[in-house]
Structure 1
Amino acid sequence: MNSFIVLNGKRLKTFLLIIFISLFTAIFFFSQSTANVSVFSIDHQPKAIFKGEKGIALTFNIGWGDVKAAEILNVLEKKNVRSATFFLSGAWAERHPDIVEKIVELGYEIGNLGYAYVDYTEVEDEKVRQDILKAQKIFKQLGIDNVELLRPPTGYFDKRVLKIANKLGYTVIHWSINSEDWKNPGIKSIVEKAVKAKNGDILLLHASDAAKQTAEALPAIIKELQKKGKLVNVSTLIASGDAKTTLIP
């Protein structure tokens, strides 16, 4: 009887050791697989990505204006930057189909900035949904069918907005570096903030007319960032790797 108990005790210890090793291995590989893309999220819920792993993503929001978007495109073309992501409001795109066409022709990626400048956290679900879909309709009318990235117009979002976007087939994109160019703090200030970006960062810039100094700051930004890594669009930045999550309210 005693020998039977000792034998089972040894087997139990061996079994527990195997379980422990297996669990540790699983945790290790899971942690490695989740190191690539940083996101705001709730566990098992839709995510908002604010950082990737390889490359630096230039992103430009355009909500209104007739002048600065063309200037930004001219700088990018002159500096031979062929990868960037433009988040366009549907209302702006509707009024400027020629500039939208040029963005597409130059090979830049287009993301959805909603239709109107609405804080999605302050309106009901259906209004959020309608605003996103209205912009989506405009893009399709302009021959753009593959818009899969969404940036909430004011930059504010919550769990509810993430779920709505996810149901509509969108990935919400935030940013890790904010140039604050819309404040027009001076070219030097914009450059200093923007060049803090490093490999994996998503840089927020604006091509609306309110951002009066961005086009002038852009050459210096491009020069410095190209020393740090390859300039890519958002989809390329987030193409590999699973998500590392950070709790949002």
Structure 2
Amino acid sequence: MNFFFVLNGKTIKQILLILMASFFTAWFLFLGNMIQVPVFSAKDGPKAVYKGEKDIALTFNIGWGDEKAEPILDALKKYNVKSATFFLSGSWAERHPDLVNRMVKEGYEIGMLGYEYKDYTELEEEKVRQDIANAQTAFKKLNVNNIQLLRSPTGHFDAKTLKIAGRYGYTVVHWSIDSKDWTNPGVQVIAENVAKAKKGDIILLHASDSAKQTEKALPYILDSLKDYKLVTVSEMIANANTKTSEIK
């Protein structure tokens, strides 16, 4: 009788431990869903962040051009903007090492915009890998190290892109607010597009030469965001849990 009593006691303890573990797991998952950075993802795979939990992230894409990047840097300095993330193509960075160096010195975050401006969803895996590898080489020569963020050059990405980026250790970054500045719709329209931003939004702007009105729109943009803290994308996603939406 004593033998069976001891065995049953152990079994009961094991069951209780399993139930307690299940309860706490469910509780932590519940809490995790209360603080989220929404992301796109391939099922059970790497993720692409497009929105944060709080604050605002200004991001600027630069794929080509010689005229607009410096005035935008000047404007950010004039209005005392300390945090922004620049997504640079490797080919542009090679041609403008002084501007890349200035971005780093002034404390802005550098993300990768591939090497050439090509739609990753239309390329075979090997071509995407090669484009990313070429960009890595370009930034390494410029002593820009520890880049952790990747934005697909045209903004289009798929499960293949997420998988390759994940293998290289990059987080793919999309956006939740498109300023549409590259269409040059007018300074006020650009400002109004950005004024829709709420806490957690990642804003897409451009500093390529095609965006001719972004610099003039910046004072209005910054005024509309004055009640928010501006952070880099990495700062926004740090220490946050995620939820996913499957990308096929």
Q: Give RMSD over aligned pairs.
A: 1.9
User: What one-letter code is carried by the residue in structure 2 that aligns with 1:222?
Assistant: L
Map of 2:238 onto structure 1:
239
Instruction: For residue 42 of structure 1, report the CA deviation from its aligned partner.
Output: 3.1
Map of 2:206 onto structure 1:
206
User: What one-letter code is carried by the residue in structure 2 that aligns with 1:117?
Assistant: Y
Does the 8 Å CA contact 2:42/2:162 hold for their aligned counterparts? Answer: no
User: What one-letter code is carried by the residue in structure 2 that aligns with 1:27?
Assistant: A
**Residues 128-170 of structure 1: CA distance to partner in whole angstroms, max 9, x if unpaired?**
0110111111111011111110000000111111010010111
What is the alpha-carbon distance in structure 2 between the residues aligned to residue 31 and residue 245 of structure 1? 15
User: What one-letter code is carried by the residue in structure 2 that aligns with 1:151?
Assistant: R
Instruction: For residue 60 of structure 1, report the CA deviation from its aligned partner.
Output: 0.1
Instruction: For residue 43 of structure 1, report the CA deviation from its aligned partner.
Output: 3.6
User: What one-letter code is carried by the residue in structure 1 that aligns with 2:80?
Assistant: N
The correspondence of residues 114-153 of structure 1 with structure 2, limited to 5 A, is 114-153=114-153
User: What one-letter code is carried by the residue in structure 2 that aligns with 1:86?
Assistant: F
The correspondence of residues 25-40 of structure 1 with structure 2, limited to 5 A, is 25-34=24-33, 35-40=35-40
What is the alpha-carbon distance in structure 1 between the residues aligned to residue 64 and residue 200 of structure 2? 28
Instruction: For residue 195 of structure 1, report the CA deviation from its aligned partner.
Output: 1.4
Does the 8 Å CA contact 1:57/1:233 hold for their aligned counterparts? Answer: yes
What is the alpha-carbon distance in structure 2 between the residues aligned to residue 153 and residue 36 of structure 1? 26
Map of 2:93 onto structure 1:
93
Map of 1:225 onto structure 2:
225
User: What one-letter code is carried by the residue in structure 1 that aligns with 2:25?
Assistant: A
The correspondence of residues 102-181 of structure 1 with structure 2, limited to 5 A, is 102-181=102-181
Map of 2:77 onto structure 1:
77
The correspondence of residues 2-41 of structure 1 with structure 2, limited to 5 A, is 19=19, 23=22, 25-34=24-33, 35-41=35-41
Runs of 4+ displaced beyond 6 Å: none
Q: Which moved more, 1:30-39 or 1:197-206?
A: 30-39
TM-score by length of 1: 0.89
Identity of matched residues, %: 59
**Residues 206-243 of structure 1: CA distance to partner in whole angstroms, max 9, x if unpaired?**
0000000000001111121121x100000000001121
Does the 8 Å CA contact 2:43/2:247 hold for their aligned counterparts? Answer: no
Map of 1:3 onto structure 2:
none
Gaps of 5+ in 2: 1-11
Gaps of 5+ in 1: 1-11
User: What one-letter code is carried by the residue in structure 2 that aligns with 1:53?
Assistant: E
Map of 2:3 onto structure 1:
none
Map of 1:9 onto structure 2:
none
How many residue pairs get aligned? The number is 235
Does the 8 Å CA contact 1:38/1:49 hold for their aligned counterparts? Answer: yes
Q: Is 1:191 aligned with 2:226?
A: no
Instruction: For residue 53 of structure 1, report the CA deviation from its aligned partner.
Output: 1.2
SS at match of 2:152: coil
TM-score by length of 2: 0.90
What is the alpha-carbon distance in structure 2 between the residues aligned to residue 77 and residue 161 of structure 1? 34
